[in-house]
Amino acid sequence: MYIQLIENRRSVRSFKNTPITENHLATINQFLDELNQSVGPFGHSAEFTMIPVSNHINAEGEKIGTYGVIRNPAAYIVGMTKNTKVHLIDFGYTFEIFMLNLLDLGVGSCWLGGTFDRKMLSAKFEKNNSFIIPAITPIGYHDERPSIIEKTMRRFANSDHKLAFETLFFNQNFDNPLKKEAAGIYEIPLEMIRIGPSASNKQPWRMVVTADGFIHFFIKHTPNYNGRLKFDMQLLDIGIGMAHFKSAVDEIGIKGEWRIYEGLQIPINDPNIEYIMSWQTL
Ligand SMILES: Cc1cc2nc3c(=O)[nH]c(=O)nc-3n(C[C@H](O)[C@H](O)[C@H](O)COP(=O)(O)O)c2cc1C
């Protein structure tokens, strides 16, 4: 199911002006419970809360601002976690699986790491300084009529331009781009990473497939991407990529596990590339 969902997914910023049905709400609450208990590859969970809104206003009369980017959301899901590398990756991982589950219900969403009023939500939810709100998502039924804001945001982030397979994935080391046709059983799992969402569509995933059954996951940091943010947003993208990859290997029936590969011998000649974790096929 996940492969098809990932293939059909896109960021949804324009919603129909209709509330979410009671049935769907009950299921979404169940997904939320699961989300709050689920962990990513590094074993951490995060905290997520739903805020129903009408006209962007919550039950307490407060406005959840999104700088005009989101139209007619039925609710927002706000997530909190610790500001460490592994917590942020796990946040990306678990939240993305949740969003794919929503899509299976016919409910759209859009990662928002930048265009929301973080100050207001932080004041409301962040318990202490080590907890941050890395991202939120609006939810609702996709209004598929073309909207100017949606088109503008997609053009702005160049959303429809996904990098080529051989730009992201490598064979043995970073000197050998991996062609799709040569990726064997990993073609679909890697393709699922490639078509995933990423902050400003920067697509920072870089993976090296080695002959001993490992896929080594790296991040290629976009220099100065985070600006004034106090956390590394692109770590969320890595978690999302890992979630897409894992969903696909599970569905295809490739068995394996996440591992930190001590003493990895892959030369890195780009200062922006950093090793994250490996998948070992067993
Ligand atoms: C971590 C993260 C943060 C994002 N933040 C925003 C945001 O603040 N505002 C926005 O409109 N889109 C945001 N996006 C959506 C991306 O722009 C979008 O995923 C990308 O352009 C690719 O488009 P697609 O998701 O439709 O494939 C974010 C995506 C991710 C993964």
Residue ranges for the chain with pLDDT beneath 50: none
One CATH from 3.40.109.10, 3.20.20.80, 3.90.105.10, 1.20.58.1610 for 2-151: 3.40.109.10
How remote is the CA of residue 251 from the centroid of ligand 1, in Å? 25
Q: What is the ipTM of this complex?
A: 0.99
How remote is the CA of residue 123 from the centroid of ligand 1, in Å? 24
Sign of the Cα pseudo-torsion (72, 77, 78, 79, in order): negative
Cβ of 237 closer than 6 Å to ligand 1, yes or no, is yes
Cβ of 65 closer than 6 Å to ligand 1, yes or no, is no
Atom nearest to 110 CA in ligand 1: 15
How remote is the CA of residue 132 from the centroid of ligand 1, in Å? 19
Cβ of 114 closer than 6 Å to ligand 1, yes or no, is yes
The pick from 112, 161, 203 for probing ligand 1's pocket by mutation, whose C-beta has the most ligand atoms within 8 angstroms, reads 112
How remote is the CA of residue 156 from the centroid of ligand 1, in Å? 11
In tens, the pLDDT along 73-106 reads: 999 999 999 999 999 999 999 999 999 999 999 9
Radius of gyration from C-alpha coordinates of the chain: 19
CA 98 to chain centroid, in Å, comes to 10
| Predicted local distance difference test score (pLDDT) of residue 191 | 98
| Predicted local distance difference test score (pLDDT) of residue 65 | 87
| Predicted local distance difference test score (pLDDT) of residue 120 | 92
How remote is the CA of residue 212 from the centroid of ligand 1, in Å? 34
Cβ of 110 closer than 6 Å to ligand 1, yes or no, is yes
Structure tokens at 246: 């894992």
Q: What residue segments make up the domains of the chain, in order of their start? A: 2-151, 165-281
| Predicted local distance difference test score (pLDDT) of residue 147 | 86
Superfamily name with CATH number, domain 165-281? putative nitroreductase (tm1586), domain 2 (3.40.109.30)
Cβ of 89 closer than 6 Å to ligand 1, yes or no, is no
| Predicted local distance difference test score (pLDDT) of residue 176 | 97
